[in-house]
Amino acid sequence: MARMTLDTFTSRVGEALGPRLVTLVLYGSGAREPSADPAALNTLLLVTDGSDFLGPVATVIKDWSAAGHPPPIIMTEREWRQSADAFPIEYEDIREAHRILAGRDPWKGITVRREHVRRQLEHELMGKLVHLRQAYVADWNRPKRLAEVVRRTRAGFLTMLRAVLRLAGRTPPAASPALVRDAGALIGFAPDGLTEPVAYLEAVTRTAEYVNRMERNPS
């Protein structure tokens, strides 16, 4: 199938949903750093409240996914406005780097509380650390498998590093190398060699410890 462009996807989503479309947003690295990588085109689709929106847009999303793009996150407008406390890291990350493709600004009236971000960070970092240690023990003598674990989980860790910098009152750099450098200097891990399994595990460990200290010493 021919590669579906973002403009084509936007147009077809609008045609399929009509007035049920509230907002279509491009977010993440695709909005932060223009890239030809299809996997970088992450989108958020907000629709009017109700349950009759999946059928009309299903074919469009199927074609979008078949062209190599990730399917959009789909929420109703009410769900979006009531879930900032459930997904505060994701909300702040989308807010920081997004481009509205269709519809209206979804951020009016949305507030993300610092404590919700810290609590989610603590939960996700400790979960990541536990699972990493399990994988490392299971594949300790299989470097290719460990490298794949790092590759598969690194993007999520970078999202967490951006959240940590924001909690510390700093602006996360757009470029990944600068982000890792600034986070490493703040948290206390070596930014060089973060793709190497042992260094990566150490960085996750120190980041989890840093966030735990934030609870004891809130700013």
pLDDT at 1: 46
Contacts of 75 (CB under 8 A, 6+ apart): 44, 45, 46, 47, 83
pLDDT, tens digit, for every residue of 90-124? 999 999 999 999 999 999 999 999 999 999 999 99
Looking at the DSSP bridge assignments, the partners of residue 102 are: 24
Please identify every stretch of the chain with a pLDDT value under 70, giving residue numbers as ranges: 1-2, 34-36, 38, 216-219
Measure CA 47 to chain center.
20
What are the boundaries of each domain within the chain? Answer: 6-103, 114-216
Contacts of 14 (CB under 8 A, 6+ apart): 21, 24, 102
Question: Which CATH number does 6-103 carry?
Answer: 3.30.460.10
Angle at 34 between CA 175 and CA 88, to 5 degrees: 60
Q: How far apart are CA 153 and CA 150, in angstroms?
A: 5
Q: How far apart are CA 30 and CA 99, in angstroms?
A: 9
Question: Which tokens sit at 206?
Answer: 């120190």
pLDDT, tens digit, for every residue of 146-173? 999 999 999 999 999 999 999 999 999 9
Q: Record the pTM.
A: 0.84
pLDDT at 91: 96
For 114-117, which contacts have Cβ atoms below 8 Å and span 24 or more sequence positions? 114/167, 116/84, 116/85, 116/88, 117/88, 117/89, 117/92, 117/163, 117/166, 117/167
pLDDT at 3: 73
Between the alpha carbon of residue 166 and those of residues 16, 79, 95, 169, the distances in Å are 37, 25, 12, 5
pLDDT at 2: 57
Burial of 73 (0-12, 13-18, 19+ CB in 10 A): middle
pLDDT at 39: 73
